[in-house]
Amino acid sequence: MSNTVNRKDVGFRSERGPILIALMLTTGLVAIDSTILATAVSSIVDDLGSFSLFPWLFSIYLLAQAVSVPIYAKLSDMVGRKPIVLIGIGLFLLGSILCGFAWSMPALIAFRVIQGLGAGAVQPMSVTIAGDIYTVAERAKTQGYLASVWAISSVVGPTLGGLFSQFLSWRWIFFINIPLCLIAAWMIYKNFHETVEKKQHKVDYLGASLLAASLSLLILAVLEGGQAWAWNSPQSIGAFALGAVLLGLFVWAESRADEPVLPLWVFSRRLLLTTSLIGLGVGAILIGLTSYVPTYLERTLGTPPLVAGLALAVLTIGWPISASLSGRLYLRFGFRTTVLIGLVFAVVGSVALASTAQTPALWFVALCCFVIGLGMGLIAVPSLIAAQSSVAWNERGVVTGTNLFARSIGSAVGVAIFGALANAIFLAAGTETDVAVVEQASGVVFIGVAVAAVVTVVAAIAMPRQSRVETGAGEAAAA
């Protein structure tokens, strides 16, 4: 493949190797932040208080990321990938600095919004650029490289998080992002060059606003239901009702927009719809584990944050191992079969974890996380590549963004539901520190993870069968 790729709307004049390194660095920004925070929850709560609010550290970040992904994805199809990813890195840098200086849990939660807005551009743009410059046969290996960043981060992140929490301060988990942001931005600016045909575009401000407002209300209703107010209270009913109405208005607005931020045709194509539903499941499974496994081990076994983080780290060690091998599977058996194989691993691992929550053992928790990680590599990567491979360049940003948007929504809704379930048990018991209560609450969360894995199997079964995969043109033909 030539280093210069000419297409109707965009042209590249960049070496693919340096671009891939830059993409790995930008992915590392989000990956390290995702793994490093989970091991520091106890330290943050000890310093800032408000244990019941800690799920918001994840949900508000994921919500900001989720609602911004479709906007960034659409803009990238209009103005190109490079300016969007640089804006994302800048926002992530600003959010990291502010989080490091947070003086209270509400302030930290507010600054996580800025981080989430940055991550909403960084992650999808990295995956989209890789999809632009590599063929479908090459993407499994490329996505394996990107997934390896999560593996490295799964070791570096929890290790740093544990070290900072035990010996320095949890604030360094945010300050460590500063040099990474600067290096990643410089690498992208220097190595990735693209020219996009200038056209007159109309930004869908109405659709973006309705999407953000509706999802914010629905997530708020799920997270605070049974906590700040009763499920049948006027606040809860009002939030759900208004969120649903705004979501309906969003669908109406998108059907009439000249250039919708989230085109409805994405959900009318069977392959794109089913891979998005799979993304929802992946997001819920991941957030359930990353949010609760370290805290579960720390509070039931007295495991130090460093060791608890390493137990979780094996999740994202298994991911790139299977992701890098997934290309051989989907080129031979098709995307659908590969995803179903991955889901077998995910279901087995999550059910085993849920069934032993009342008798915690460090080695067994780590083993379950590794098995689930192996499954994730065979689920997330092939389903995303299947979606990317079915469209041209001018739709790939939206399609990639929609898939990652679904994953983010799955994580945001998942952490809200899991947090509501766990907090309900804590409130009923009147304590958050009793070992038996923590085991019970964590067990309910792990059961939720297992249910999410089983439901995702249904979406995978509904995927269209691929009759063949074109290794040159990078298109998937769905029968």
**Do 179 and 211 lie in a common domain?**
no
Q: What CA–CA distance (Å, rounded) separates 386 from 75?
A: 22
Q: Residue 21 is encoded by which pair of tokens?
A: 């390194």
Confirm whether 1 is domain-assigned: no
Confirm whether 3 is domain-assigned: no
Buried b (16+ CB within 10 A) or exposed e, 127-166: bbbbbbbbbbbbbbebbbbbbbbbbbbbbbbbbbbbbbbe
Is 221 within 8 Å of 240 (Cβ atoms)? yes
Q: Answer with the residue of higher pLDDT: 361 or 281.
A: 281
The mean pLDDT of 307-331, rounded to a whole number, is: 78
**Do 368 and 408 lie in a common domain?**
yes
Q: What is the overall mean pLDDT for the chain?
A: 79
Q: What CA–CA distance (Å, rounded) separates 53 from 19?
A: 39
**Helices in 192-314 by DSSP H: which ranges?**
205-224, 234-256, 270-301, 305-313
Q: Which regions of 130-219 does DSSP assign to beta strands (E)?
A: 194-196
Owning domain of residue 174: 8-204+258-478
Beta strands at 4-6 and 476-478: parallel, antiparallel or unpaired: unpaired
HSE-CB of 83 using CA atoms within 13 angstroms: 9
Q: What CA–CA distance (Å, rounded) separates 164 from 157?
A: 10
**Do 231 and 155 lie in a common domain?**
no
Sheet of strand 194-196, all strands in order from the earlier edge strand to the far edge: 4-6, 10-13, 194-196
Confirm whether 68 is domain-assigned: yes
DSSP 315-371: HHHHHHHHHHHHHHHHHHH-HHHHHHHHHHHHHHHHHHHHHTTTS--HHHHHHHHHH
**Do 430 and 386 lie in a common domain?**
yes
Closest residue by Cα to residue 126 from 90, 94, 95, 85: 85
Confirm whether 45 is domain-assigned: yes
Question: What's the pTM value of the predicted model, to 2 decimals?
Answer: 0.74
**Do 249 and 267 lie in a common domain?**
no
**Do 295 and 226 lie in a common domain?**
no
Is 89 within 8 Å of 203 (Cβ atoms)? no
Span 111-155, pLDDT tens digits:
998 998 998 888 778 877 877 777 666 766 776 677 667 666 666
Confirm whether 2 is domain-assigned: no
Q: What CA–CA distance (Å, rounded) separates 239 from 119?
A: 26
**Do 148 and 229 lie in a common domain?**
no
Beta strands at 194-196 and 466-469: parallel, antiparallel or unpaired: unpaired
**Do 100 and 116 lie in a common domain?**
yes
Span 373-411, pLDDT tens digits:
899 989 988 888 888 887 776 677 778 878 877 887 787
C-alpha R_g of the chain:
21
Span 60-69, pLDDT tens digits:
777 787 778 8
**Helices in 39-135 by DSSP H: which ranges?**
41-48, 55-79, 81-100, 105-133
**Do 196 and 69 lie in a common domain?**
yes
Pick the last residue of a domain from 257, 292, 323: 257
Confirm whether 53 is domain-assigned: yes
Q: Residue 269 is encoded by which pair of tokens?
A: 């194509």
Confirm whether 86 is domain-assigned: yes
The torsion angles phi and psi of 466, rounded to 5 degrees, stand at -90, 125
* The pLDDT value given to residue 454: 94
The torsion angles phi and psi of 200, rounded to 5 degrees, stand at -80, 120
Confirm whether 61 is domain-assigned: yes
* The pLDDT value given to residue 317: 78
* The pLDDT value given to residue 37: 73
CATH number of the CATH domain containing 285: 1.20.1250.20
Closest residue by Cα to residue 193 from 71, 118, 86: 86
Pick the last residue of a domain from 223, 257, 291: 257
The mean pLDDT of 352-378, rounded to a whole number, is: 89
* The pLDDT value given to residue 478: 33
Span 198-229, pLDDT tens digits:
666 677 778 888 888 887 788 777 666 666 67
Closest residue by Cα to residue 70 from 84, 54, 56: 84
**Do 320 and 408 lie in a common domain?**
yes
Pick the last residue of a domain from 257, 289, 318: 257
Write down the residue that tokens 């793994």 correspond to.
35
**Do 68 and 161 lie in a common domain?**
yes
Total number of domains constituting the chain? 2
Q: Which residues contact 156 (CB under 8 A, 6 or more apart)?
A: 32
**Do 458 and 323 lie in a common domain?**
yes
